[in-house]
Amino acid sequence: MVLKPVRVFCFIFLLAVLATLLTGWHMLQMKEDALAYAHASGKNTLLLVEREFHRDLDVHAQTLQTLSNVLTGPATPALTQQILQELVQGHAAGSVQSGTLVVTDANGQLLMDLNHAGELRRDLSEREYFQAARDNPGRQFLSRPFLPSYPGASESTALSRAVLDANGQFVGVVAAIKELRHMESFVRGLDLGELGDVSIRLLDGSVLAQWPAEPKRSSADERQTFEAFVASGEVETFRQQANTPDAYWRGYRRIGDYPAVVSVELGRKAIFHTWTARTWITSGLLLAINAMTLFFAYRLTRHLRRRDAQESRLRTQADTDPLTGLHNRRWFDQKAQREWQRRRAGDGQLAVLMMDIDQFKAYNDHYGHPRGDLALINVAHLVGKGCRREEDGAARYGGEEFVMILPGCDTAAAARIAESIRREIEETALPHAKGDRGVVTLSIGVASTSDTAAESIEALIDAADANLYKAKAAGRNKVVA
């Protein structure tokens, strides 16, 4: 009996020691969680910024390539500035900020400004974007920040490329000028916490955009890390230093093949702020430890929700045809299977429209692929307008073929929709010198389960495709159901 209090004391002491060890172990795990969260958050921010501006630069690069092809193509003498403007706008529709497009001759003299907000001076031969494109005709060039020569201009950068004629001779430069304030507005919206920095820099260290405008951390060590990353040729790299008062996490990622790098840096307060604020509370309380676990679970869930939302946006991009903006074949195949299963469950009729632009190869051969792409965009827009209900869906099936799926439609209703699309495209009167009617037209085949004994969605699509061939055989520009 004498030892009982001692045993109780020892038992309680051991429990206290165990609780203390458990708390200490848990706090160490929380510190690792904070580092992992900082890594995931920093990496996702890095990827978000890189993908946003990679896509934007790709849009401008495609626009410049198309513009270069149009300027040197056989149809160039007949094209007006208005047609060039429409062509460029069609290709640049998906950019964050379309910017200003300029064209110079081989001597740097301004030939045209497609957005009427670009360089006012006519001699651009001293511009870096002209000289670099002229001296490196096989490459695209992203310039250091400069001030364009128009009223109210702000610092800008330019993506440029040389224009070569059919003999490979340098004949000028096309360039897309983008004001940097649009980049700065985007990175300003990223919440990286205290001592969090994000920047977009050229390979020589020239800053295109950064937030905050005056970084709270600026060290020779960071500059050395940046220069080492550029020299390594790697696509992505991460650095972290956790167990010092000057802790940090850094990430660097190249923007595709462009001479630019996105960097994200998180300081000690940004990484360990939550962990430090709760250390005193959780040190002696097991209940507080559990509360902190739930808190971090909530934080992790919120982070995963944001990541899921981002992945959802990426899936949407994966289901979209990049040229026309319609859904792509992958999306249609999945949509068609879902609608077929729904119909088998007794949810009404299902109709499919197969559409093909008449004599499109002759159109491409005559007008060139850039004008062909513009025709596809125009037709796709009118096809998409035919989807009047949320459950309707249109997609680019391949090449100049389009497809539409119409749940709950019998043959008559689907044929009316098809005729409306066919008539609207014909009335648009897009010139087609090699076409039977002198304008771009569309042939459409219609099939619905109301009149077609299809055993599968593939059979229904085949039936619509067969009717499409009948429409072609009957003289094109027809609807056959």
Token digits of residue 443: 């042939």
Question: What is the rounded distance in angstroms from the CA atom of residue 459 to the CA atom of residue 125?
Answer: 62
Is 400 part of the annotated catalytic residue set?
yes
Which position has the token pair 């689907």?
414
Cα distance between residue 265 and residue 331, in whole Å: 38
Q: Quick one: CA torsion of 412, 415, 421, 426, rounded to 10 degrees?
A: -120
Q: What angle do CA 280, 286, 292 make, to 5 degrees?
A: 65
For 8-15, which contacts have Cβ atoms below 8 Å and span 24 or more sequence positions?
none
Question: Considering 194, 400, 426, 458, which one is annotated as catalytic?
Answer: 400
Beta bridge pairs of residue 177: 100, 158
Rg over alpha carbons for the chain, rounded to the nearest Å, is 30
**What 3-state DSSP class applies to 199?**
strand
Instruction: Name the one residue in this structure whose structure tokens are 């802790």.
Output: 247
Q: How far is CA 385 from the centre of its chain?
A: 23
- Say if residues 224 and 166 touch (Cβ distance below 8 Å): no
Cα separation of 153 and 9, whole Å?
Answer: 78
Q: What is the 3-state secondary structure (H, E, C) of 394-437?
A: EEEEECCEEEEEEECCCHHHHHHHHHHHHHHHHHHCCECCCCCC
Strands (E), 180-277: 196-202, 207-211, 236-241, 248-254, 260-267
Residue 307: which of 45, 22, 35, 7 has the closest Cα? 45
Show which residues are catalytic.
Answer: 400
